[in-house]
Structures are given as C-alpha cells and as structure tokens.
Amino acid sequence: MSITLSVLFAYLVVLAALAVWSRRDSRSLQGYFLADKKLPFWVVAFSTNATGESGWLLLGLTGMGYAVGAQAFWVVVGEVTGIALSWTLISRKLKKQSDAASAITLPDVLESKFTDRLHILRWISVVIILAMVCAYVTAQMAASGKALAGFIDIDYTWSVVVGGLVIIAYTIVGGYKAVSYTDVVQGTLMLVGLIVVPVVAVSTAGSWTNVTDILASQDPSLLSMAGVVDSGLSGWILLFSFVAIGLPFLGVPQLMTRFMAARDDDELRKARTMSVVVILLFDIGAVTAGMAGRALYPELADPETIFPHLARELFHPVITGVLMVVVLSAIMSTVDSLLLLASSAVVRDTMQKILNSRKSDQSLAKIGKVVTVVIGFLGIALAIEEPPVLFWFILFAWSGLGAAFGPVIICMLYYKRITLQGAAAGMLCGFLVTVIWIWKFKSKTYDLYEMIPGFLVGLVVIWAVSQFTKKDSAGPSPAQID
C-alpha cells in the first residue's frame, strides 16, 4: 500500500507542477476559461477525449463489458461515430463563429449568432449547465471515491474528499491551460492502461480463445453483439440506446470549448484523426478488459470494480499504483473541465454579460476561482451519498447537456432558417424531455435512453418554431461565415 501511495503522490506532484506552470495564463477571463485560444492540435485531441470519457470509461464501461460482454461494443460504435461526426460537422465551423464573436463561452457564440439582446439563450444555458454540472461532478467525485477505495484500504468518504480537493486545487491555480495539459498526461495514462490491462488479463487467462470459451460456458450471449436483439423489441431499444450514447458528443459544452480553444483551423484538422483513433483504442480496451475480467473473476459482486480488481490482482504494487492513477486521471480530466464550465456560466455569462458587471477581467477571474471551489465542495458533499450506479448517473448528466445544446448547435451551423425563438424552444424542450423521460417514461419503454427522445424533440421543436417566427431573427447564415 505504501508503494501505491508513493506513486499517487508522484502523480500529484506532476499535476501541481503543471498548475504552477500555467498560472500566468489564468489571470484573465479568456486565459482562465479558454487558455487564450492557443492550444496545439495534440492538446486539443487528448483533452477532448479525456474530458468526454470520464470515470465511466474505466469503471462504467469496463463494468459493462463484464456484465453484458460483447454487447458493450455497441457503445464503442456509438462513441466513435459520435466523436467523428463532432469533429467533422462541428469543430471547424464552431471555431470560426467563436473567433468572429470573440467568444469565451458557448453561450457567447449563441448570443452573437442570434443577436439575443435579452440574453434569453444565455439564461437558459446557465440554468441547464449549472443543473447538469452539479449532477455530473457529483457522479465523478463518487467515482473517485469508489476508485481509491477499490485500490487502497481507505474509507470511501475520505477517498471522495481527497480526490475532490486535488482536482479543485490544480483547477483554480492553473485554469483552462492547466486543465488541458493535465488532460494530455491523463489521456496518455488512460491509453496505456487500457492497452496493458486487457493484454495482461487475456494473457493470464491463457489466450483470447480461453477467455471466449469461459464466457461461452457462463452465457453464450456474452460473445455476440447481435445477441442484444434476441429479446425482440426490448433488445432493439437497448441496442439503439447503446449507440446513442455517442450523440452528446455533438453538443456538450465542455467539448465544444475544446474546439474554441484551438490555435487555428489547421490544428483542428490535425486533431481530428488523433482523437478518433485514441477514443477507439480507449473503448475497445475498456470492453475487452471487462470481458477478460469476467473470465478470470466471474463472482465479482460489483462489475464496476473490475478494473481496480484486475490492477490489484495481476500487477506489481508499483504498476497497481500507476493503474490507480489511470482511473483517477479519467475522473479528474472530466471534473476539472466541468468545474470551469460551471464557473464560466456564473462569472462570464451571468455576472459579466447578463448583470453587466464592471469588474475587471482579473477580478472576475478571481471570482471564477471562488466559484470553482464552491461547486467543487458541493460535488464532494453530494458524492458522499454515493450514487448507486455510476454508469447511468453519469449518462443522465451527459444526455441532459447533449439534448439541450446538440440540436441547437447543429441547426445553428446548418439550418439557415433557424430563429432565436426556435433555438430557445429547442434547448428547453430537448433538456426537459430528457429529464421527464427518466422520471416518467424510461421504465415503461424498455429503458430507452433519454438522449434519443430529447435530441429528436429538440430538433423538431427548433424546426417547427422557426417556421412560425421571423426568418431575419437568425442573424447571418452558415454560408456567410464560411
């Protein structure tokens, strides 16, 4: 245990060094929230993937591979498709619009596009972001507690507190630049871990053939992606739900700001290929580790602990410590971005733009750091209650943000007749349908993933409302900005 803790301490020293190195660029709003829009392609690529994947990759998706086997590869299909479409359809166009509007946040882009003088879209954005970020951060803090408790023999509550304090500390010191560069370190560790662990697990089982033979003896459906539809309608709904997990990549604000922070258009083009390849390796490694883990340890009580279990059982304590850092990296790389997202919603969108604060950028950046601390501590307090199923709790927040912002971003970039009224109605309806679906309809529709109705309703409402409102309220068309 002392060796494992030593590895963890060394990792924290690296994060602290990156935070101090980035501190100078966190004194202005654009520096604190967007790294002055100077990030190179390799930072943008790794930061996008590390932020998008979060603790659910190492705990949730590996646990899913353990629980349902090859059927979890449908999630891989969805995620790779989603991130590829996001880079292809959104990244470069959004970057152009954000630069033209001198935008720091996604609501800046929306308000500029629709000439929204009453800040309607900004108000809606702030409410949705704060609500979903609280849920998201809570789930991630809980994941950090589960991870630490799974690797070392310490109390879950203390695990949450320690993990949360570390994330808060380097985020407030270094801002967006520190977050982005730590994402590179964290993303690299995640990639290495998701290659090494499944390879060693399969090797321990003897071979991949041995793994498949063991899984077949347990349940033949664990080896078939097509097995998900054997149950008829409920199976097809599950398949579509798995694939739709990639839909939020088309709109969640914490990823859109990655595109906005790139140095230029050429950096985005180079980042696209790297990002898609890396996320493919991430996801395949996670599912494979879960499947091999089930073959080795079929009686595990909690599938979401399979990655820590493999790390403890199959590796030397030094490597176990490194793999613990891998899991924490996945969690931290998302939480830090969420904290900045929520902080920007309060400071930039609410104080500076809606309330027209006259404070200097430096003063507002300092307030942003205070907001980061407050939201971080709120997440820690809520996480101590330990959400029971991290995978689905994280998906709730992921889909809420995606359904609110995805449809309006797509329509803003590709639908010339979109209006301010249509954008506002689409954002509200997409978000509300997602939340209401979970409460009222999900259990009655074979657990249809809430992002599907939320996203579709958002698109339809944007189109319908835009048809009945003035065309000239939409501002410049996509053709004018290309």
Sequence spans of domains, the chain: 2-391
**Pairwise CA distance, residues 139 & 164, whole Å:** 12
Res 390: pLDDT: 53
Which tokens go with 275? 């990002």
N-term to C-term CA, the chain:
56
192: buried, middle or exposed (CB in 10 Å: 19+, 13-18, 0-12)? Answer: middle
The pTM score is 0.86
Give the total residue count for the chain. 482
The fraction of the chain above a pLDDT of 90, given in percent, is: 52
Confidence bin at 477 (pLDDT 50/70/90): very low
Q: What is the pLDDT of residues 369-380, one digit of tens each?
A: 888 888 888 888
Structure-model confidence comparison of residues 85 and 366, the more confident one = 85
Confidence bin at 136 (pLDDT 50/70/90): confident
**C-alpha atoms less than 13 angstroms from C-alpha of 32 in its C-beta half-sphere:** 29
pLDDT at 479 over 90: no
**Pairwise CA distance, residues 334 & 427, whole Å:** 23
Res 451: pLDDT: 93
Segment among 51-65, 244-258, 365-379, 386-400 with least mean pLDDT = 386-400
Res 196: pLDDT: 95
Q: Which CATH architecture has domain 2-391?
A: Up-down Bundle (1.20)
**C-alpha atoms less than 13 angstroms from C-alpha of 133 in its C-beta half-sphere:** 29
Confidence bin at 471 (pLDDT 50/70/90): low
**Which residues are bridge partners to 39 per DSSP?**
262
Q: What is the pLDDT of residues 327-341, one digit of tens each?
A: 877 777 777 788 888
pLDDT at 478 over 50: no
Res 460: pLDDT: 97
Type of residue numbered 353: K
Type of residue numbered 224: S
**C-alpha 157: how far from chain center:** 24
Segment among 191-195, 197-201, 337-341 with least mean pLDDT = 337-341
Structure-model confidence comparison of residues 362 and 98, the more confident one = 98
Please enumerate, as own/partner, the contacts of 380-384 that have beta carbons within 8 Å and a separation of 24 or more.
380/141, 380/160, 380/161, 380/164, 380/165, 382/134, 382/138, 382/141, 383/137, 383/138, 383/139, 383/140, 383/141, 383/142, 383/144, 383/145, 383/160, 383/164, 384/145, 384/157, 384/160
Confidence bin at 432 (pLDDT 50/70/90): very high
User: Locate tokens 């994402």: which residue?
Assistant: 183
Within the chain, what is the greatest distance between any pair of CA atoms? 68
Confidence bin at 274 (pLDDT 50/70/90): very high
**C-alpha atoms less than 13 angstroms from C-alpha of 62 in its C-beta half-sphere:** 35
Structure-model confidence comparison of residues 439 and 414, the more confident one = 414
Res 378: pLDDT: 87
